[in-house]
A and B are shown apart, each in its own frame.
Chain A
Amino acid sequence: MPMISNILFLIITVLAVGLFIWQIRKIRRNINLGRDKEIKGSTAKRLNKLILVAFGQQKMFKRPWPAILHGIVYIGFVVINIEVLEIVMDGIFGTHRALSFLGPVYSALMAVNEVLAFLVIIACVLFLIRRNVTKVPRLTRGPEMRAWNQLDANVILITEIVLMLALFAFNTADLKLAAISGEELAGSFPISNLLAKSIHTTHLAGLEAVRSVGWWFHILGIFAFLNYLPSSKHFHIIMAFPNVYYSNLEPKGKFTINESITHEIKAMLDPSYQVPPLPEGVEPQKFGAKDVEDLNWKQLMDAYTCTECGRCTDVCPANITGKLLSPRKIVMDTRDRMEEKGEHPAIFKPNYYKEQGEPRVKVTEEKTLLRGYVTPEELWACTTCNACVESCPVNIDQLSSIMEMRRYLVLEESAAPAALNAMFTNLENNGAPWAFSPSDRLNWADNLFVNTK
């Protein structure tokens, strides 16, 4: 009854894709909670970044081993998608190996596919070992790495392995059936061939069942996976691309300038200065960020792109020396808060998954990003060194969010540490962060000829 299975397949496909789009729209809406941010700078440079950092995985290669394994899974994913296309075509039109008309190209494609699928399994097993046996610290430790985050990573890896196994089961059974019926099978399957040779059954019904279970499992697994993505750190396989494209092109030391403050100061220095009126319907902004809607959309997009790899926290001088700050936590907190605020976009509710033990970072109950998730202590530990920004493989700008929250603390709450307030006072009164008299500024030149003295 090919007709019924085709219709069933079509319905499932439409439902899966529809559900995925629905989830993406919710995430889009959450990201749009953020402030506007104008994207400036050359498109060519952006495309270049996209090619190097997102497609080329440039920043992964700071650590060669994970880079190679990740590269395998990534290329595997891209190539296997061609087969998924074929599966969808077969499913809808009731064909068998719809792309086989490609002849030698098809053979090569299938062969590469099988080798990659095999390597993907190996890579995923190694990744599982790194997480669960050797417990690489950056992947497993930190107050932000809760039970859910550990589970999520394992679910992804195991799913990938199972999907690859289903593919092999399908191919092997298909080969065996072709051999028994004496048919020519298009394509070349190095690994399934080996498997088929070592299986000696001629049980037709059994083989057919394996073939169709393998096929259905593979495609249903992929649909389920697709809809699992928006709840998972694995969402980075989609978000990495726009996120890298929109990433900062300016020198990392250049912090944003708050224009409304510029107008205020200009008006102070020059009473005739006219502050340009705000466009209709736009409310004057708070200074800095207290909650997710005070961050800009790119900072919120960052949060959905994070892969929780912990490279940022691993290089953070504050974190290395045992301070409370973890840039990864700031990013993950932003995402959690966004999901709480904009309702869960996802069908899963990772936030509600049980926490592990006592959190190390004590937050107050106040339900905003600042204080409800991120404490001032974390923020004040940052040296603004940009190591986190440099290390992030998907070009997240952790520092910019930290700075916005610091600005809120200082400008809206006057809640800077006392020592910093003293520094501000010196700066205001003496033009230097230390309590020196401005008239001593040239003392260094005392016993030296300086042609300006």
Chain B
Amino acid sequence: MADLMARGEEPEILFWVGCAGAFDDRYKNVTRAFVRILEHVGVKYAVLGLEESCTGDPAKRAGNEFLFQMQAMTNIEVLNGYNIKKIVTACPHCFNTLKNEYPGLGGNYEVIHHSTFLQQLINDGKVRVAGGEAFKGKRITFHDSCYLGRANGIYEAPREVLAALDADLVEMKRSRANGLCCGAGGAQMWKEPEPGKKDINIERTEEALATGASVIAVGCPFCMTMLSDGVKNKNQEEQVKVFDIAELIASAENLNA
């Protein structure tokens, strides 16, 4: 972003990578896939790079309002400094925080989750999902992440993106507004679950496996981790793969280097 600024240019969108997108080995693939799509359609985008810092979502959900606001205000200063207007992110937690909680602290942006963004690209014919052969007839099930679905009412965008793949979309027993959390939200990602009968990600994975789908599609880095762990736990990693919707689109478009 700093380079663009130095050249006196402004990007159409700022791609907010998020901590998982930047550091999590598995999710880095998603970041790359999404960037390839951006390059492919020729959108003028930028990332903050080293100037990006955590949105503060984990602190906020854990109850550490102080730390959250520190993070938020620092980020807002950077974003406002670059005169950012439109942000796209692949992480529902970043999306929710930037969209809903930053305005109260002086950060007002148009924030879009990558599922909505991809849906628009598909609707505008910019992404054609060439032939879609790769997924024809494959069973895919979509796991609603809480911070996209219930928290912000986005249920259809990721499904429409998946529908473009010409795959066989199957729903889990609990989906959309009734979807079951993957178990990572509310800062659970960073701690051991409380004692109980079972871990939440196992319960959710069982539901996903019960659909008979060979691909579990997600739109969130935490869901990705939780469900991948669940699939491993059930020794199904050979038969069932967990992919982010951006990866599915990128591979349908043969964009995977």
Contacts and interface: CB of A to CB of B under 8 A. Distances in A.
Interface residues of A, number: 73
Contact of A257 (B53, B70, B104): B104
Interface stretch (B125-133, B134-142, B175-183, B212-220): B175-183
Interface string A76-108: 000000000000000000000000000000000
29 contacts: A250-B100, A254-B96, A254-B100, A254-B101, A255-B61, A257-B105, A265-B73, A318-B200, A321-B193, A322-B198, A383-B181, A383-B188, A384-B146, A385-B181, A385-B186, A387-B146, A390-B177, A403-B61, A407-B63, A410-B62, A422-B190, A423-B62, A423-B191, A427-B58, A428-B70, A431-B52, A443-B22, A448-B32, A448-B36
Interface string A363-390: 0000000000000010011111111011
Interface in B92-119: 96, 99-101, 104-105
A253 B153 CA distance: 10
Contacts of B150: 252-253, 385-387, 389-390
B64 interface: yes
Interface in A248-273: 250-255, 257-258, 261-262, 264-266, 269
A157 to B, nearest CB: 28
Given A257-B101, A423-B62, A441-B49, A317 B183 contact: yes
B56 A383 contact: no
B156 interface: no
A444 B22 contact: yes
B31 interface: yes
A317 B198 CA distance: 10
Given A257-B104, A427-B58, A427-B71, A416 B63 contact: yes
User: Top 5 nearest A-B pairs by Cβ distance?
Assistant: A253-B151, A322-B197, A406-B63, A384-B186, A431-B53
Contacts of A382: 186
B39 interface: yes
Interface residues of B, number: 78
Interface in B196-228: 196-200, 202-204
Given A384-B61, A409-B63, A424-B59, A255 B196 contact: no
A42 B58 CA distance: 31
B65 A442 contact: no
Interface of A: 62, 250-255, 257-258, 261-262, 264-266, 269, 287-288, 315, 317-318, 320-325, 377, 380-387, 389-390, 403, 406-411, 416-417, 419-420, 422-424, 427-428, 431-434, 436, 438-445, 447-453
Contacts of B28: 443-444
Nearest to A405: B63
A424 B67 CA distance: 8
A387 B185 CA distance: 12
B194 interface: yes
Given A251-B152, A253-B151, A380 B194 contact: yes
A389 B63 CA distance: 18
Nearest to A403: B63
B154 to A, nearest CB: 10
A343 B21 CA distance: 53
Nearest to B73: A265
Nearest to B147: A253
A97 B49 CA distance: 80
Nearest to B146: A385
A384 to B, nearest CB: 3
A431 B58 CA distance: 11
Contacts of A62: 178
A380 B65 contact: no
Nearest to B70: A265
